[in-house]
Structure 1
Amino acid sequence: MSDTPPSYYVPPHSYWPLVGCIGLTTLALGVVLSLRGGSSLMLLAGIGITIFMLFGWFRDVIRESMSGLYSDQMDRSFRWGMAWFIFSEVMFFAAFFGVLFYVRIFALPWLDGASNNVMTAELLWPDFQNMWPLLTNPDNSAFNGPQQAMGAWGLPALNTGILLISGVTLTVAHWGLIKNNRTQLISGLLATVLLGIAFVFFQILEYGHAWNDLGLTISSGIYGSTFYLLTGFHGLHVSIGTIMLLIILIRCMKGHFSKEQHFGFEAVAWYWHFVDVVWLLLFVFVYWI
């Protein structure tokens, strides 16, 4: 009997998708309960179950990879799968950006009477004035929004710098892998993980400042909802990406990758660079313009 692995490995049945479904459902319910002033125990439980699922599922895939069960055809399938996954993420954020652009370009001018929508403005909010972001002020008394917008050049600018630097450190790590320089590889990955943790930390500080000092909550009209929707989902992606980078770092420290075979590293790098690009768009259209 030949020891050559099959051309396409079919994994056995796994319970990790079920665990992931439970974790994400618990996480979503926990977010809703927390926003409504309830206990945060369900939120923490959802986070814990999801992290447990990620590490467990990654462990099984790593064992399969290290056992030599994956062929060249599997590698091509992985690359196509990751490419389509990132495309789905592009469409995911495109929908949210579409909401933001629709509100700013069409909905708000219509409520102010633009484009022959005078009757719409008179019937809905006669005193409404088109402005972005929508804030509570004497000229726009019909709208109950936050007292102040989140500025672009404080913590958001700092986080922009952090993500840009993390893209550089990850590329340096990739070069180290190609050159078989393990020190460069591990140090670059470690720096990227630390920068990812720093980004999440500063975003938590930013949310605390926005919520407590600026009155910018998720119920602060369309500005508050789009702000937390876009930045919150991006923060979730950064958190997941940091976990993935941490796992890749541990694998690199154990010598799992070579310059010929390292798609696991490349997949996470693709994901992280995508997260960087999305943040740049967020910084421009949510914070700056």
Structure 2
Amino acid sequence: MTTKEYESYYVPSQSHWPIVGAVALFMIAVGAANYVTDIKNEVSGYGGYLLLAGIALVIYMVVGWFSNVINESMAGKYSRQMDNSFRQGMSWFIFSEVMFFAAFFGALLYARIFSIPWLDGAGNNAETAAVLWPEFTASWPLIKTPGGTETTAMGWYGLPLINTILLLTSSITAHFAHVALEKNKRSQLKAWLGFTIILGLTFISLQVLEYSHGYSEEMQLYLTSGIYGNTFYMLTGFHGLHVTLGCIMLIVMFFRVLKGHFTPENHFAFQATSWYWHFVDVVWVLLFLFVYIL
């Protein structure tokens, strides 16, 4: 008979981090909703402060919780079973993010394919359209709403095209960094990972510049600029938030590399970050296609 080997499965002690994270996410949700309402009504409320407090609490939670996980990993407390648990957790997390963006893309496509044509009398809505907005003409982007709000559409060339090139390039450099880690080429790993971080931060900077241009008197593309302004800033804004999170993850990986963490056999934290970064890049390609071009 062969001896069956058993692996220990590390079970951490009770932690306060889950409840801290739940409170932080609640504060962000309530704060963001009130902040958007305050902007629409042009009033000064508590939404913005609650949102910032929630974000600060999330940062505190992530730093503390991940520090515990890193210390436990470096202490050798994790087995292959624990590694499988991390893989499943990250896979489900990315799946939830896919569903998150699918909801916003669904809202965009529903408005373009169904709602706007209906307002122009498509289908059996001719009488309704004549009563509501008889002079409305279906078109996308909807730069003039039935309520009379006018704006300017953001073109795909210029900053959006440059950002697309930057993110696609960063996906390649992230892959090269992963390959260098698997081959234990630390110098190449640091170089490719550093280059990826620079590309990501440049993307964020250019998106801030793009938003500044959109909110200028020349374009007047605001969050309140009808369904086009809503969907534009919701999709690009949440994507920008995810790119920011991805950059933070890459920076953490960079400092861990500098400290000598990870081996070709044990580097799932780095791999998970790479998965997330590639996911963010794919979302941007779809966003660039459906928001900027089509």
Q: TM-score, normalised by structure 2?
A: 0.89
Question: CA offset at residue 52 of structure 1?
Answer: 2.1
Question: In the alignment, is the contact (CA less than 8 A) between 1:197 and 1:242 conserved in 2?
Answer: yes
Indicate yes or no: 2:99 matched with 1:91.
yes
Aligned counterpart for 1:166 among listed residues 161, 165, 170: 170
Distance 2:183 2:54 in 1: 40
Question: In the alignment, is the contact (CA less than 8 A) between 1:245 and 1:268 conserved in 2?
Answer: yes
Aligned counterpart for 2:53 among listed residues 45, 60, 74: 45
Distance 1:22 1:199 in 2: 31
Q: Which residues of structure 1 form unaligned runs of 5+?
A: none
Indicate yes or no: 2:11 matched with 1:10.
yes
Distance 1:93 1:258 in 2: 34
1:192-231 aligned at under 5 Å gives the runs: 192-213=196-217, 214-231=219-236
Which residue type is aligned with residue 170 of structure 1? A
**Comparing 255-264 and 42-51, the one that deviates more:** 42-51
Question: In the alignment, is the contact (CA less than 8 A) between 1:163 and 1:196 conserved in 2?
Answer: yes
1:79-228 aligned at under 5 Å gives the runs: 79-136=87-144, 142-213=146-217, 214-228=219-233
Residue in structure 2 matched with residue 250 of structure 1 by the alignment: 255
Which residue type is aligned with residue 22 of structure 1? V
Distance 1:85 1:146 in 2: 39
SS at match of 1:169: helix
After superposition, give the CA deviation of every residue in 1:171-212 in whole Å (9 maximum; x if it has no partner): 111111011110111111111122221111111111111122
Which residue type is aligned with residue 257 of structure 1? F
Residue in structure 2 matched with residue 59 of structure 1 by the alignment: 67
Question: CA offset at residue 34 of structure 1?
Answer: 4.6
Residue identity (%)? 55
Which residue type is aligned with residue 92 of structure 1? F
Which residue type is aligned with residue 59 of structure 1? S
Which residue type is aligned with residue 53 of structure 1? M
Aligned counterpart for 1:263 among listed residues 255, 263, 268: 268
Q: Which residues of structure 2 form unaligned runs of 5+?
A: none
Question: CA offset at residue 24 of structure 1?
Answer: 3.1
SS at match of 2:64: helix
Which residue type is aligned with residue 195 of structure 1? L
Indicate yes or no: 2:278 matched with 1:273.
yes
Q: TM-score, normalised by structure 1?
A: 0.91
Which residue type is aligned with residue 278 of structure 1? V
Residue in structure 2 matched with residue 24 of structure 1 by the alignment: 25
Structure 1 pair 5–247 and aligned structure 2 pair: CA distance change class (3 A)? farther
**Comparing 31-40 and 277-286, the one that deviates more:** 31-40
Indicate yes or no: 2:294 matched with 1:286.
no
Question: In the alignment, is the contact (CA less than 8 A) between 1:5 and 1:68 conserved in 2?
Answer: no
Question: CA offset at residue 30 of structure 1?
Answer: 4.3
Distance 2:160 2:81 in 1: 42
SS at match of 1:106: helix
Question: In the alignment, is the contact (CA less than 8 A) between 2:153 and 2:221 conserved in 1?
Answer: yes
Which residue type is aligned with residue 67 of structure 2? R
Aligned residues: 282
**Comparing 83-92 and 265-274, the one that deviates more:** 83-92
Question: CA offset at residue 23 of structure 1?
Answer: 3.0
SS at match of 2:215: helix
